[in-house]
Amino acid sequence: SHRARKAHREQDSRNPVPPSFLHLPPRSPRPTFFLPPSVAPSSSSIPSSLSLSLSLCAAVATMATMGNNNINAKLVLLGDMGAGKSSLVLRFVKGQFLEFQESTIGAAFFSQTLAVSDATVKFEIWDTAGQERYHSLAPMYYRGAAAAIIVFDITSLESFSRAKKWVEELQKQGNPNMVTALAGNKADLEDRRKVPAEANR
């Protein structure tokens, strides 16, 4: 909610571009997920890589429900403060981009519904705070999640290091069937890149 945010300004890119994604398999077993073209979301306002990640989550949820045409899928965003989690969610849910985005306090909730193949998928999205003091609250938000997107800032090695720790935490404590994606954000700031593109392969 608006009251649950403080007036701290995050540095974000002026012209957003789709982040790069690395899809990570669940901890065990380690299946490979394939995304058929028929499950691509119909909305053209969604950044392509985020759309792909969400489509994958929806495809997995569709398979798991075995014919259920109305699916609720919990999605959580994790990552360091200032990585751009809230900007990604705002772009996905409302098609908006703000040059300055207030830091999230605790967590913010959004929802978005997509038509995927023959199913309707309602994403229940938890945008979590990146400040260390809120870390202890994170399990409450990723517990039971169908998917997680871990966001890092490509201009910050510290942000990338923190993202890797989130991956490790989810592998140990998260839902073993959770679909996980790693998102390198602020890719338009290539001249300030600190995280090599090959580092997240």
Contact between 53 and 23 (Cβ < 8 Å): yes
- CATH code for the domain in which residue 187 is found: 3.40.50.300
Report the side by side order of strands in the sheet with 147-153: 20-24, 179-185, 147-153, 70-79, 119-128, 107-116
- Residue 37 lies inside a defined structural domain of this protein: no
Q: Is the pTM of this model over 0.85?
A: no
- Residue 196 lies inside a defined structural domain of this protein: yes
User: How confident is the model at residue 61, as a pLDDT?
Assistant: 58
- Residue 11 lies inside a defined structural domain of this protein: no
Q: pLDDT (tens digit, 9 = 90+) per residue, 64-100?
A: 555 667 888 888 899 887 777 878 887 777 776 656 5
Name the domain count of the chain: 1
- Residue 111 lies inside a defined structural domain of this protein: yes
- Residue 114 lies inside a defined structural domain of this protein: yes
Q: pLDDT (tens digit, 9 = 90+) per residue, 118-173?
A: 778 888 888 887 566 667 788 888 888 888 888 888 888 888 889 889 889 999 88
* Residues spanned by the domain of 57: 21-26+44-200
- Residue 4 lies inside a defined structural domain of this protein: no
